[in-house]
Structure 1
């Protein structure tokens, strides 16, 4: 098992490429994403998480989202997601 991926701050357009790279670097393992230091999540980074979750599922690996702050939970909810549905790669 690898260490959790721990993005920080705003996960917006400018963060999407780095987030994708972080998730690609751990794609050969079960993935845990710790959102405790995230202040905002935008649609593009949400899509990065969905793609990573789907890739993990296709490879029979787990993908978990943990410690999302209330503000991030509210943003996910406004886009129709929960940490669980996001981790499942559901749309």
Structure 2
């Protein structure tokens, strides 16, 4: 009788472990979808703000000031530099030459 009960307990432990793994996968999927949605919102809001900046110079100055004060990483500043200085040009990607064999 004890053997049967122990087997049942072991089966339940395995089920619990399988359910925990499923839950972890669902949480990871949910987090991934939330990050994608957040990124999409940021892109859309950024596009709307940039479009409005083209029509309202005072608003553009406020946005540039906010960006200058809140963007701290040098890599990010480099990407935004042309826009922050009043240009609308897109940053040019770095071109790497392929060595010829």
Instruction: Considering fraction of residues, name the structure with more helix.
Output: 2
* Higher Cα Rg, which structure: 2
Instruction: Considering fraction of residues, name the structure with more strand.
Output: 1
Q: Which has the higher contact order (CA 8 A, sep 6+)?
A: 1
Q: TM-score, normalised by structure 1?
A: 0.32
